[in-house]
Amino acid sequence: MPSTGVNGASAWSLAGKRAVLATMHGKERVVRPLLEGCLGLDVVVPHGFDTDRFGTFSREIERRGSQLDAARSKIEAAFAHDPHARVAIASEGAFGPHPLLPIVPMGREIVVLRDRDTGLELIGHHADLSTNFAHETVETAAAARAFAARIGFPRHGLIVTGVADGAPTPDRYLDKGIYTVSALTQSVENVLALCGAAHVETDMRANRNPTRMRAIRRATIDLVRTFRSLCPNCSRPGFAVTQRLTGLPCTWCGEPTTALRAEVAVCAGCGHSLERPVAAETEDPGLCPVCNP
């Protein structure tokens, strides 16, 4: 582990270090400029590196484990592919219904950085509702074209799969090479003849989805912020918030409300923790279970 103390921060520096980015879908367009410009890394993209083996959005290869598990698997494979790299970076996205508003789609992106020499692992996060993640089962090419117009095709890509028992079935039919309205029409007509219905969905691969690419950029910005957040005790990067405490007192009665009271940051290296109270001293009674049961 790097030394700590006055010069501890410089011991964690990655300036000039080789970093391999585990991608085959053009993520270097948004990740590389930030990590080179902000952290000084020399970011390279491995030739012939296959990330689809860790799971595909089109379901022909299921992702094993969690979103973070998949990103870590990519990092291990990237280090094996490029044994001279000190750092590996990988991102992974997940899309589905919002946990509190199931009718609203939500996207979650993580960008993970690992330093082979120090064992440092940091994660940048971004979650928002601006994803264009969507899907529809159609029975006509016209319905598929209407769906395509709603999601921003052809700037955003589409995937067409077969359907069996009402569910998407890529084993029966899969087309990810759709770039024009005529190609979409032909693909849908092909699968309609085969299955009677077609499943059309947004292509969530980064190089075919500008909306997702922006989210990856924001997760990378969060990663940079996390790297620059140093532990006040040992100077290790990644002094990040791990807990949020509720209970800000009610303005009327003084009892704890459901509002945020403080955030707790913890160092994963030395264990140092720091509680940071919010600026407000009291909260509106609307969030008080006593005044507003």
C-alpha of 30 from chain center: 13
Segments of the chain with pLDDT less than 50: 3-7
Whole-angstrom distance, CA of residue 32 vs CA of residue 256: 45
Instruction: Record the tokens describing residue 117, joined without a space.
Output: 């020499």
The residues, any chain, with a CB within 8 Å of residue 203's CB and separated by 6 or more, are: 57, 156, 157, 158, 159, 176, 178, 209
User: Yes or no: is domain 8-131+207-228 CATH 3.40.50.10150?
Assistant: yes
pLDDT at 3: 46
Whole-angstrom distance, CA of residue 110 vs CA of residue 221: 11
CB 105 within 8 A of CB 95: yes
pLDDT at 198: 98
For the chain, the structural domain boundaries read 8-131+207-228, 135-203, 240-287
Length, in residues, of the chain: 293
pLDDT at 11: 85
Instruction: Identify the CATH assignment for 135-203 out of 3.30.70, 3.40.50, 1.10.3470, 3.30.1490.
Output: 3.30.1490
pLDDT at 2: 58
pLDDT at 6: 42
